Amino acid sequence: MRLRYDRTSVAHWLKGSLPRPFAQRLIADAFSRRLGRCIAHDELGFLPHPASAIAVPGTPQGSVATIRALSALCGEAMRQRPLSQPHRGGGVPAPSWPGSPTAGHRPVDAAPSEPHELAPVRTVLLHAARSFEMFGGRHGRTALSTYAVHDVVPLLPLRGSARHRRTQTLTEVARLCFMLARLHMDSELHVLAKSFFACAQEFAVTAEDQVTWALAVHGASVQALHLRHTDFALRAAHTAVDVGVRAAGLSVQAVLLAQLTVPQAATGQHDEARSTLHAAELACDVGADGCAEGPFAPYPAAALASDTAEVLYAAGDMRAAASALRDSLRLRAPHDHRGQALDHARLGQMLLRQRRLEEAAAEARLFTELHRRLSSGFADTAYDRLFGEFRTYGGRSVAIRTVLDLTMIRVRACGRACGCQDRAERAVPINGELKGVAGSASYCVRS
């Protein structure tokens, strides 16, 4: 990446001239990182990001426009390093299910006489979901996008097809969009993730599948919560529960209810959060038996324990929250390295804030070992937050000094618009100085 901007260029921008679209994305990213919140293009006086111009549920563009949008999104996602541009969630209305609230009551895993061409799509989704847990969202992101545009988009549109075949195909495409959204969200590519979530909602509406639609809205709530747009996250989670619980099986109900508890707790609705959490626990306990295999089911008990920890932490019960995170770690599947890493990082933060420094240092060491295996923007963000807090305690504990001596001081993962190579430099302290070890891991220190 070559940039040739100087103070004169910036002065022209401040007077009203627009930089090139490529520079606009970098400027928005720079402001977002410096201010600690998401800055959208239009907040800086630029035109809206082109990736956000897709059909949304309830608009008259219809499924043909959504198919074109899906193709365009996959083409953008197939770029090796698409630039991340955070979207703005404040003031945006939550999605709403169009039409009758009783339409489309089909279980998410019901697939009688499934069309033969959908079996590979289901297999790819299962593999992508497992790969996501093992390696993170950046791993396989471009491969899944390539598969979608070359193998799945040609299945559409479905004019003249039997109704059952049409709805099954649209449901699988909606699930694929949902999976692509999760991968891009974990890569911190939030405009693309938001657009894939909107595509998933549109395809689910066309298929009259309330459950898949509710899961896509649930995903948008998770994204908004990560970006600290708690109001939108709460509205979207309520919408997903209102629409999805009527039609979904118990395992999917647990997913939707558990997500609702976190923004409820974050906005101070602690009694409502506990009540919703109790309902999610009941649904998870009952729904774990006999649930068909799939990317959405069964809802893992570890994820529920992690959400429980956030509810307890927001209520001020940090010891109980730390205990819930330990339960989550105990319940995690052996291959779920991403979930384990995020739990270790969050537990380390909680212990550090309780001044339990040695325990926090032990969790940080475990997190660091897992983080090196991952290609995940969420894990990178957790790394920055955790060790940013550790540095404030650097001289107070031998255990913390040891952790800081064994870990990288300033790390940014590749793929954040830094333009570095995949096998970049890793910062490691040697004799008190930072030295770059070329090709040692997929990390860089340039951004």
d(CA 92, CA 231): 9
State the DSSP H helix or E strand holding residue 333, giving kind and residue range, or none if neither: none
Query: Which residue did the predictor score with more confidence, 421 or 62?
Result: 62
Q: Which of 2-11, 105-114, 230-239, 436-445 has the highest mean pLDDT?
A: 230-239
Over residues 167-192, the pLDDT tens digits come to 888 888 899 999 999 999 998 888 88
How many CA atoms within 13 Å lie on the side-chain side of 197?
27
Looking at every residue in the chain, the average pLDDT score rounds to 75
**Are 201 and 57 spatial neighbours (Cβ–Cβ below 8 Å)?**
yes
Whole-number pLDDT of residue 35: 65
How many CA atoms within 13 Å lie on the side-chain side of 36?
2
Q: Sort strands 443-444 and 433-438 into parallel, antiparallel or unpaired.
A: unpaired
Whole-number pLDDT of residue 320: 94
Using left for φ > 0, alpha for ψ between -120 and 50, and beta otherwise, residue 415 falls in left
Over residues 125-169, the pLDDT tens digits come to 999 999 999 999 988 888 888 888 888 888 776 555 677 777 888
Over residues 27-79, the pLDDT tens digits come to 777 776 666 555 666 667 666 554 444 444 443 344 556 666 777 777 766 66
What percent of the chain lies above the pLDDT cut of 90? Answer: 29
Q: How distant is the alpha carbon of residue 235 from its chain centre?
A: 18
Q: Which residues of 4-13 are buried (b: 16+ CB within 10 A; e: fewer)?
A: eeeeeeeeeb
How many CA atoms within 13 Å lie on the side-chain side of 128?
29
